[in-house]
Chain A
Amino acid sequence: MTKISFPQMGDYHIPATYLLSHIFPNDKIINAPKITNKTIELGTKYSPEFVCTPFKYTLGTMIECLEKGADTLIQMGGGCRYGYYAELQEKILKDLGYNCKIINLVTKGQTNIRRINKLFKQINHKYSKIKTIYYSFITLKMVKYMDIIDDYIRQNIGFEQKEGSFEKLKEEMLNEFKYIKGYRNLYKTYKKYLKKFYNLKTYKPDKRLKIGIIGELYTIMEPFSNYYLEKSLAKHHIEIKRFTNVHYLLFEKAKEYKKYQKYAKEYFKYPLGADASDNIARCKFLCENDYDGIIHIKSSFCTPEIGAMPIINKIANTYQKPVLFFSFDSATSKTGIETRLEAFYDMLEMRKEK
């Protein structure tokens, strides 16, 4: 029996666990513990100092999973430094004396069915291909529905009448998603909760502040790593627009990229790696539409985003929109973030009043 585990990000461990537990019903799926200070401490201790922060978070969770008894870890790789996470992490874990196997499903953001088949066989050679296709379909739909609902929450959570009503309902929904039986069941549950979310009472004033969040994908999607930025924005009654989610990365990115390139052609010509070029185009979009401000977040040492920052600054200067830059690290002080955020709200409110 293999004990499979994977690093986590946001709420996406729910669809991932769902998928793996159905593909490998005879193996054990070990859920990574929630990210805490201990995770990042472990990650920082064993990572190269100047690697991007998501590496530290994922390495930290991997160690915690191994401590919980996992022996096979699943990792992927994207189009920036994320591309060599799996190999480097495997080496670090081996050096630490853990006997584990790392399954790298995606390299440089690309993969194919034959490769996944080969790797899945390594986990359990008796896995069913038909089941895999079926449950992958359900899981991808689940991710899509989660992202749609998250988008709705982001737009409305700042204006909820009863404090905590959105979060509570979301937790309820995710709990039900864990035990979905088949696609029809999933679709019905999704529709049911969508209705429930629409029925939650909100009060949206016309003169509300709207902020767009752009930046590096892991830091955006894992709330612990951005010090619960979205939560603190919601507390100040701000509508939030965020573009990056897993559904976007999996299905829309390739298509959108061409659109983005055309849309912001005066600002970039060649891809800047990872999400950097997308963020430039998004910045232009936010400036041209009625958003009051932009927050750009990244982990420290994220090279593509560092390349995008001066261009974003330039766009913001042309359109006279304020941008707040955050660089999150394992050693970021919470007070510093609070002061800057507070000043940002004050500034946006003053601008709105005038």
Chain B
Amino acid sequence: MKDCYLGVDIGSISTKGVIIDDENNIIASSYIWTEGNPVNSVKKLLEILKEKLDKNYQIKGIGTTGSARKLIGLMLKANIVKNEITAHAIGTLTFYPNIRTILEIGGQDSKIILIKNGIITNYAMNTLCAAGTGSFLSSQAKRLGINVEEFGDYALKSKNPVKIAARCTVFAESDLVHKAQVGYPKEDIIAGLCKSIVLNYLNNVGKGKKITPPIIFQGGVSKNKGVVKYFKEILKEDIIVDENSHLMGAIGIAVLAKKNKNGNTYSLEMKNLKFQTKAFECNHCSNNCELLKIYRNNELVDSWGSKCGKY
């Protein structure tokens, strides 16, 4: 039996799972939509991974990251739960030890990580607005009647991207509508949108950060060729996009799970697991905390959200 390690990255839009072996080779991976239900999507993900995984392997460690990391960490009894910034940096550094800048645009957040000599020196995350993230792109794609996957190809066709006021998603959308009604071709609008994502990212997240090559671009949006093109154009540097760029967070957390293994063996059998959450509001004081109780097979494992520690 050989050892392997599972990393799960549960983002707002997509859920990513990766299984690596002792040499950090990817033996199985999957990428599915979260669809607002992290518990179910992880169950689905594990089913897919189980089929892909060779019978010779046993899972020696599980790590979770992404916005639902705590919940899924409880569900899978993960041996490590880490934030996505660390996971992305670790994942990237395993494959690209010399990297200096990581640009990452995900579903609901975008980040920049600066690295020097293999350690993170600084990072930033978008604070307030969704302009410049993947969910804005996907909602606009839906509105224009195009698959997000084809977005990049459309953008590459354009020779004259329109200018879009992209400070804020709402204003950007009204500007987009206006440009479409005036009669600009679809390609130019899409290209303008891709460019606005880049500009927004650099003005918002990348503000005050020194972007030094080599640069790698990750997250779901890195699959969009249009955005990559405009990053190259505006930064005037070469941008590396790994074929596994969308899985980098999951790879990173799998590497961390390997480092923190505790000798336990885990199973991927989660189909029959009953994992429930119950939400209620505590009216004990005027804080009115929103509480969440988490049950694993009808057994209370944790409760979150209490300010005073009553629960």
Contacts and interface: CB of A to CB of B under 8 A. Distances in A.
- The bracket for how many chain B residues form the interface is 20 to 34
A199 interface: no
Interface stretch (A44-52, A99-107, A345-353): A345-353
B123 A347 contact: yes
B85 A317 contact: no
Contact of B82 (A310, A336, A346): A346
Interface in A91-139: none
B287 A36 contact: yes
Contacts of A336: 125, 127
A335 B120 contact: no
B117 A350 contact: no
Contacts of B123: 343, 347
Question: Could you tell me the dominant secondary structure of chain A's interface residues?
Answer: helix
A336 B127 CA distance: 8
A38 interface: yes
A340 B285 CA distance: 29
B119 A354 contact: yes
B114 to A, nearest CB: 9
Contacts of B212: none
A310 B67 CA distance: 30
A161 B143 CA distance: 58
B83 A38 contact: no
Contacts of A38: 286-288
Interface in B260-297: 285-289
A120 to B, nearest CB: 32
Given A346-B83, A346-B86, A350-B119, A310 B125 contact: no
Contact of A36 (B84, B86, B210, B286): B286
B119 A335 contact: no
A336 B110 CA distance: 12
B181 interface: no
Interface string B239-257: 0000000000000000000
B67 A350 contact: no
A317 B119 CA distance: 16
Interface string A325-354: 001000000011001101100110011001
Contact of A310 (B83, B117, B127, B208): B208
A20 to B, nearest CB: 24
A185 interface: no
A79 B86 CA distance: 40
A342 B85 CA distance: 9
Contact of B117 (A36, A37, A39, A354): A354
B121 interface: yes
Contacts of A323: 122
Contacts of A317: 210
A83 interface: no
27 contacts: A36-B285, A36-B288, A37-B286, A37-B288, A38-B287, A38-B288, A39-B286, A313-B208, A320-B121, A322-B122, A335-B67, A339-B83, A340-B125, A342-B82, A342-B83, A342-B86, A343-B83, A343-B85, A343-B86, A346-B83, A347-B120, A347-B121, A350-B120, A351-B119, A351-B120, A351-B121, A354-B119
Interface of B: 67, 82-86, 117-123, 125, 127, 208, 210, 285-289
Interface of A: 33, 36-39, 310, 313, 317, 320, 322-323, 327, 335-336, 339-340, 342-343, 346-347, 350-351, 354
